[in-house]
Each structure stands twice: as structure tokens, then as C-alpha cells.
Structure 1
Amino acid sequence: MPDTPSSDDQFADLFGRLPSPPNRATSSSPADAGASTPAPTSRRAAREAATASGETRVTPPVETSPVSAPRTAVTHEPEPAAPLTAAASSDSLPPGPRRTPGSIDALFGAEAVHEADDPKKRHDRDRRKSRIAGWVVLGVVVAIIGGLVVGGTFVWTTYEDKIRAFLGWEEPKDFEAGMANGEVVVTIVEGDTGSSISTTLYDAGVTKTSDAFYDYLISSASAATFHPGAYRLQYEMTSEAALAALEDPANKLENTAQLREGLTVEQSLPILADGTGIALEDFQSAVADPSKYGVAADSLEGWLFPATYTFDPGATATDVVQTLVDRTITSLDDAGVPEDRREEILTIASIIEREARYEDDFYKVSRVIQNRLDPSNDETFGKLQMDSTAQYGYGEMHDGTVSSTAEALEDDNPWNTYVHEGLPIGPIANPGDTAIKAAIEPADGPWLYFVTVNLETGETVFTETYSEHLKAVDQWRQWCADNPDGGC
């Protein structure tokens, strides 16, 4: 049990038990109160004083400590004399500072004090702190670098064209001379201008960018006259070389016509007439009755297969049309399409052809069509809502933009899939082999929506929910705002 404090003030009693400061009188008895002899300042002085007085006294055993502390430890009460032992000898005590059991250091943090002055422990502690600090600094540096990389990548991918233009790093719009290779047939139709021909050349792989040829015409102040027909050119030509090739009669192919994918009958007939020299009116009469070509439909839309054809000089318009229809049947048969599903598959394939640009996207668009017609999809079941069908039915397909007007979307014609459920009444364009194959072999996926967010690159975003689709639509709108002449 603790002793009862000698006074009401416990703190005063506590501090009364603490050792006295150096040089303070140590005798507390009345007999010693008048003594003027100063207190010994060390063990050696204490022993010498005891020897001189004929007494052999020692101080209590001391506790060693690595921290620095006053060597004098004087008690209030004189202790009985005791023989000097080896344990109490200053010569046998460990080196270094010592403190008595009654010192302040002994009351507070003796263990911490030991560790603080232990060189090995202090070294280990400092190493731990250094490692922790090093990892913290490394983490901060990595985070900063990562942020710069992510931010820089975003800025570059989003504003690459503007950054290049500002810094003068724009890539050349044209191929370099000497890169031309291979052979490609390019068709010019009646009414084509420098701008439309520039796009045609780019689509065919002749020029590097869609506006390279047109820019060259402007910069060179060329007054070229373009004649309808099919021309033999090369891939990766300069705009200057492409213009020279189009103006050279030797490159014009006689009795040759080239139909590209996605054209309608209305667009195809003038090309056939220009390539073969047969009157346009003859072709218009030849396509009036699909049944004479074995097509059970009201129109040959979708049945004039896109390819490059060369005909004998004596071929008639009917001969030409029959050749194209036969080529379509061959593609359907090669894809394994049953005869009773030909019109259906051509209809799906024609939408795919008009909506997608890249081969992978063909199969994804096909899946979207199948998913939207699936009865298990309550949100979209029945309504394809394809702009290409609304534009075709309303006659907007050839206006040079991809957007549909409100009138086209609301028009009640049998091709408008915004108004009518299911597939349109028939094909809306001539699909190629890839589109036909995609129509019967859609990719696996949950997509219900898609939108082309970059009309120049053809980048298309496929999404499963309407909220995701709206975000993609915002991307497209931003691209259109940044590219007012991009064909939106």
C-alpha cells in the first residue's frame, strides 16, 4: 500500500521525494542543519570524506543508463555505513552516464532513453524511417508522372490535329512521289466535281486524305475537265499524279463500269451508262421488271452487285443488268442463304452496308439488328430505328449528310424503321460480300445502339443501354461542332 501523504498536497509530497539539485544541502535532521560542509559532488569525494571521518560508507547501488544525467545523486537521509564492495567500485561500473533510481529519467521513459542512445537501434530506426520516406517520395513521383501521362494522352488524342497545326507538326496530306503501287479502278460519274472526286480517290486508296486532291486543284489553280467513266489508277499516288492519270485518255477503260458498295439503283444506272456507252434510258427500262431476272420483288434494289465489270461492245442494257443480278445470286449462294430468304438477307445486308464502314463493325451492326428484333428486349423490340432506312424512304440518302431531318424520321413510308416495326419493305442499297456474310453471321454481343462518333475515321461506339448511347451521341455532336464541313 502507498504511504499516506504527509500533507494534503499530494504533489508537494511527490516532489519532496525527488532528488535534490546539485550543491543543495542534504542533511534534513536538526543536528545537521547548521553544518556548513558542502555535500560531496561525486562518489570519489564521498569515499574520501568517509575515510577522513573514520567511516566507510557507500552510496546505494546505481542504475546505469546510456543517456547523459547528473552524476551526483544525494539522498536526504544518511545511510548506514557498509563495506565497499567491488560492485560499488567506480572502476567496475560500466562506462557511460548513470542515473539513480530516484531520478526524473527513471520516472519517465527509461526504455525509450536506452533505445535512443543505442547506436544500432538508432541506426535501424533511421533506416526504417528512410525507407518509409523513400517509398512515400516514390509514390508521389509515380502518381505525378502517371497523372501527366494520362492527362497528356487524353489531350493528345482529343486535340492532336489542333496541337499539330499549332506547332507546325501537321502530317503531309499527300503521299510522297514514288510510293504509287498496284492498280485500282476509279469511276467518275456525271455531275462529279473536284470535291466529290477527291473523296472518291481517297475511298479507293489512291490519295492519302479525303481533301488532298481537292486542295491540290485549288492550290494549282487547275481547270481540269473530268469525263465520266472508269479509269485505271494506282494506290498511294500523289494528287498531281492522280490528276494526270484522270486526264490521260489511255487510262480510261472502255465498256467498263465499276459499282461500289452501298449504291442505290438510282445511283448505279448512270455509272453503267457512262461505262458502257449504253443510253441511260435503256437501263431505266431494263430494271423496270425484276421478274425477268428471276427476282420476286417490286424492285431490283439490292440486286445490282457492286464490282468492276467489263462488257463486250455489243452488250445490251438487259445483258448488263442480268450479269449484275447473277453475281448477287452467286454471293448469296456462296454464303449459304436459302432461296426463300434472299430478299430478307439482302435487306439486312443493305442496312449493314449503309451503316458500317469497317469489317468488324459489319458484324456488330448485324448483331444490333438481331437484338432489336428479339422479343426478349422489351426496351427496343420491334423498332430498328435506323437513320439509313428513314433517309432512303424519304429521298434524303443522296444529300451528302448522315443526319436525318425530323420530316424523314416521321414520314410514314414502308422503309422508315422509326415508324414501322421490323425490317423495311426491301433493301435500301447494293450490299457486298462482307455485308451479306455479316447478315447471316452476326457477332456475339449485347449491343442495342451504335453511333459513328467520327465521320472521318469511321469510329463507331456500340452500347447496351440508352444512357450510354446518349454519351456517345454527345461525342458525335462534339465532333460535328469541331468539323462543321464533316458531313454531319
Structure 2
Amino acid sequence: MSHRYPDPYGTGERPDHEPAADGYAGGEHADTRYPEPHFDDARYEDDSYVDARPADAHTGGEHQEAAPAVQHFFGEEESAPSRRSRRPSREKQRRRRRRTIVMVVVLAVFAGAVFGLTVFLRDLLGMNEVEDYPGPGEGTVSFVVQPGDGPLVIGNNLASEDIVASSKKFVEVFQQESQGREIQPGTFEMRLQMSASGALGALLGDGGTAVHYAAIPRDQRQNETFDELVASTGIPLEEFTALAQDPQAFGLPEQAVSLEGYLFPGEYRFPVDMTAEEIITEMVQNAFNALEEAGVTDPAEQYRVLTKASIIQAEAGEADYATVAGAIENRLRADNTETNGLIQSDATVTYGLGRKSYNLTPEEKADTSNRWNTYANPGLPVGPIGSPSVEAIDAAANPADVPYFYWVTVNLDSGETKFSSTLAEHGRYVAEYQQWCSTQEAGRCD
């Protein structure tokens, strides 16, 4: 028997700490050690509960064990909750829902605060800033470098005036490209939203000299170059076009019909007091220097090489310059029976037509009055069709020895060019190009 419930009948089984006592008085059991339980608690108002009070322990001269009634009491309490205990459950559910809603709102506010803080920190740390502009920029602005200004100060000032996108990028480019040179104090003519490299190049001029910065791309035509010079220097267009009418005044050979091809591409920093004539002289001299570095010194040969280089520049990617130069040279050979001396360059025809495109009509290809039409007129055109780069000039002066007569760029995005020795093979590559064009947006191959 458990020591939890002592024997009221004097059987001797009792708690070890309690002395034995007779549990009988006046012929009835009266165990005063266990007071009668109270039933005024609300839990006991439910009819489902039985009377849990101890029954008369002595009926009919037999002893009745009280423990089962106690066990019944506890078992019923666990298995059958009262109606009063069930009624608060809906209120608990409402409170639980309210707590859930409050928690969701708190989490949403917290997430919003975290997001806002993240955006603020990204802006504060410059993580959302554009690192560099593609260049060459637009408009003009005077920029002053004060004595003692270092790369960091200059970079900060450039960025604050929106000449460069990032001071950090400018300093990085300065460390990579300055080659020990220092930016001297002075006033410099700059552009808005230049590349960091372009801005550095504009500043590495003579100290204290205000300059006009001009970036002349390769393969640019004379009229496009003049527009660039006008925008950079503010010199009227008429001054440049008038100078182009007398190319021999700048040392060009007699067959030159304009300054085309001799306006050498590159980045220039012209002093603000420089005239149009002085600017043209500098650019033409750079073209002569490039020809001489390629080993071409005879003026007539220089003109031929420069004309050929301008076609190469327009027709091919840099990786294919030498191969295209070799194919052109094969077409110019006296024993060429494949094309009979015709270069058949689309770029030359469209130059003579005053436009840029990939498509020509049969009538345009047959027009012999177009002096740049290499479909109708054998040999080189009457002059260059753009400003070739050093690489194109070198390829024209040193063509690759190849068996090809034909070439076609089959993918204008990648610049992939395929070469062939026969017209039949070339026709298959042209079809490949046309197939590629059929998958592009309208106007891509015009």
C-alpha cells in the first residue's frame, strides 16, 4: 500500500512518521486526520462530477476502501472539463489572434526599418553610385586644378562637378595610367560625364594651360570629326570645312580630294587659344607619323596605304585586319580573274552615297559615277573613307599572305567574319549572314 494514504483501520500500515492510533470512536469510523473536502469551488458545480466525499468507511460490518473514490475524482477532473472551464477558450483564441496580428505588424515594421537602413547605408557608402561613365562625355566645362591638389582632391572635385562618376575610380585610373606623371595646376576645358581615363588624359597636359578636350573615334568620317571639333572647341564649322578644301596645304599628295583619312583618331587636348588650322595640322601630322612608323614614307604610297586602311577599318574587326588586307591585295593584283580587279566593298559605295548602311540596291552597285563605288570601278576608290587606326594602317602596310578573295561578317554582334576563295563558297556564307539577320529586330541589318 502506498504511504500517501494511511490505513484508517489500524492495520499497522501507516506513514513511518505517524504513531499508530485507533481510528474508531463511538462505534463509527471518524478519521479526524483528513478533513472533509469543500465543494464550494466552481469546478464542482458541473453535474458530471460525482460526490467525491469519502463514503462511510464502515457499512455492514465491512471495511470500504476510500482510495477508489479519490482516484475517480482525479480521473474525472482530467477527462471531463466543466462547462465553465470550456467557456473561456474562445476568449483565449481571440487573445491569441490579437497577439499574432500584433506580432505580424511588429515584424513588418521591423523589416521595413531594416530595408530603409540598408538603402541609407548603401547610399551613404556609395554602393548605388555609377562607378564610371562610358565617355567621351558631352558639353564643355572649365575645371580648375589648384596648386597642391593631389589625385584624391582632384577626383573629389571632378565627381562633384559630374565630370567623372566616381572619385574612387578616378584615383584608381590615375594609379594605373599616370606612369609617374603629375597633374599640373591650371584651368582645363573638360566635358560632363567623361570616363575616368578620358578625364585623366585631359588633365595630363601642360600645367597652367586651359585646354579643349576632343576624343576622335577611329573609322569616323571627316564631317563627323569636324562636328566633334566644333563641339569641343567652339570654333565655327565653316573654318574647318574651308581648310578641308585645300588638303595640299597640309602636305597631302595631289590626288587627295579632302582631309579624309588624315584626321588621325585619338584623344586630344588643344590649348584654348589654338586655331582651327593649328588643330588640323596637329591631327594630320599624327597620321603621317603613324604611316612612317609602319614603314611607309613615300607620299603616293602613303595615300594608297591610308585608303586601303580606311576600308579595312570599316569592313573588319581588329582580329581580322591583316586577313582582310591580304584579300584586298589579292583583288588588286593584275592577274586577278576571280573579281577582275574589283574590291566590291559596301562601305566604299555607301561613303560615296553619303550614308552608312549594309544594304545596297543593284542600281547603286552599278553606278560608275560614284567614284567610291568599288563594285563598278576597279582598283581602290579615289581616297580614304574614314579615319583608320594605327592597327589598320599597320595591316594595310603589311597584309597577310592568304588565298582569299571574299569575306563577310556573318554576325554583326560578335563580328565573326568568314573568308573564302570562291564565289560559290562566299554565297553560302552570305546566306548564313542573311539567316542571322532574319532573327534580328527590324532595322538591325539595314
Which TM-score band (shorter chain)? Answer: 0.5 to 0.7
Q: Is 1:486 aligned to residue 441 of structure 2? A: no
Q: Following the alignment from structure 1 to structure 2, what is the Cα–Cα distance between the partners of residues 433 and 350? A: 11
TM-score, reference length from structure 1: 0.49
SS in 1 for 2:214: strand
Change (3 A) 1:322 1:230: farther
Tell me, yes or no, if the aligned pair for 1:229 and 1:271 is still in contact at 8 Å. Answer: no
Identity, % of aligned positions: 36
Paired amino acid for 1:487 = C
Partner of 2:308: 348
Cα displacement (A) at 1:185: 4.3
CA RMSD of aligned residues (A): 2.6
Q: Following the alignment from structure 1 to structure 2, what is the Cα–Cα distance between the partners of residues 429 and 343? A: 13
Cα displacement (A) at 1:303: 0.5
Partner of 1:385: 344
Cα displacement (A) at 1:282: 1.6
Higher relative contact order (CA 8 A, sep 6+): 2
Tell me, yes or no, if the aligned pair for 1:187 and 1:257 is still in contact at 8 Å. Answer: no
Change (3 A) 1:475 1:188: farther
Q: Is 1:322 aligned to residue 281 of structure 2? A: yes
Q: Following the alignment from structure 1 to structure 2, what is the Cα–Cα distance between the partners of residues 260 and 408? A: 28
Q: Following the alignment from structure 2 to structure 1, what is the Cα–Cα distance between the partners of residues 265 and 351? A: 18
SS in 2 for 1:300: coil
Partner of 1:291: 248
1:317-363 CA distance string (max 9 Å, x none): 11111110011011011111022311111110010011012x22111
Unmatched runs of 5 consecutive residues or more in structure 2: 1-126, 141-168, 170-189, 198-209
Tell me, yes or no, if the aligned pair for 2:137 and 2:195 is still in contact at 8 Å. Answer: no
Partner of 2:269: 310
Q: Is 1:267 aligned to residue 224 of structure 2? A: yes
Partner of 2:136: 186
Tell me, yes or no, if the aligned pair for 1:255 and 1:275 is still in contact at 8 Å. Answer: yes
Q: Following the alignment from structure 2 to structure 1, what is the Cα–Cα distance between the partners of residues 367 and 268? A: 37
Change (3 A) 1:317 1:384: same
Tell me, yes or no, if the aligned pair for 1:185 and 1:258 is still in contact at 8 Å. Answer: no
Change (3 A) 1:319 1:437: same
Partner of 2:390: 433
What aligned pairs does 1:351-362 form with structure 2 within 5 A after superposition?
Answer: 351-357=311-317, 359-362=318-321
Q: Following the alignment from structure 2 to structure 1, what is the Cα–Cα distance between the partners of residues 306 and 215? A: 20
Q: Following the alignment from structure 1 to structure 2, what is the Cα–Cα distance between the partners of residues 338 and 452? A: 32
Q: Is 1:416 aligned to residue 357 of structure 2? A: no
Work out the number of aligned pairs and report it: 255
TM-score, reference length from structure 2: 0.53
Cα displacement (A) at 1:414: 1.6
Q: Following the alignment from structure 1 to structure 2, what is the Cα–Cα distance between the partners of residues 230 and 259? A: 16
Q: Following the alignment from structure 2 to structure 1, what is the Cα–Cα distance between the partners of residues 244 and 192? A: 22
Tell me, yes or no, if the aligned pair for 2:338 and 2:422 is still in contact at 8 Å. Answer: no
SS in 1 for 2:432: helix
1:279-319 CA distance string (max 9 Å, x none): 11221122221121111222111010011101101011111
Q: Following the alignment from structure 2 to structure 1, what is the Cα–Cα distance between the partners of residues 276 and 341? A: 40
Unmatched runs of 5 consecutive residues or more in structure 1: 1-175, 191-205, 207-227, 236-252
1:95-148 CA distance string (max 9 Å, x none): xxxxxxxxxxxxxxxxxxxxxxxxxxxxxxxxxxxxxxxxxxxxxxxxxxxxxx
Which of 170, 175, 195 is the aligned partner of 1:233? 195
Cα displacement (A) at 1:229: 5.6
Paired amino acid for 2:315 = E
Q: Following the alignment from structure 2 to structure 1, what is the Cα–Cα distance between the partners of residues 417 and 289? A: 31
Which of 323, 333, 354 is the aligned partner of 1:364? 323
Paired amino acid for 1:255 = H
SS in 2 for 1:452: strand
1:430-478 CA distance string (max 9 Å, x none): 1110010000111221111011111111111111111111111111111
Q: Is 1:258 aligned to residue 215 of structure 2? A: yes
1:158-211 CA distance string (max 9 Å, x none): xxxxxxxxxxxxxxxxxx978947x86415599xxxxxxxxxxxxxxx9xxxxx
Tell me, yes or no, if the aligned pair for 2:134 and 2:194 is still in contact at 8 Å. Answer: yes
Which of 397, 406, 415 is the aligned partner of 2:362? 406
Paired amino acid for 2:377 = H
Paired amino acid for 2:344 = Q
Partner of 1:40: none
SS in 1 for 2:136: strand
Tell me, yes or no, if the aligned pair for 1:229 and 1:274 is still in contact at 8 Å. Answer: no
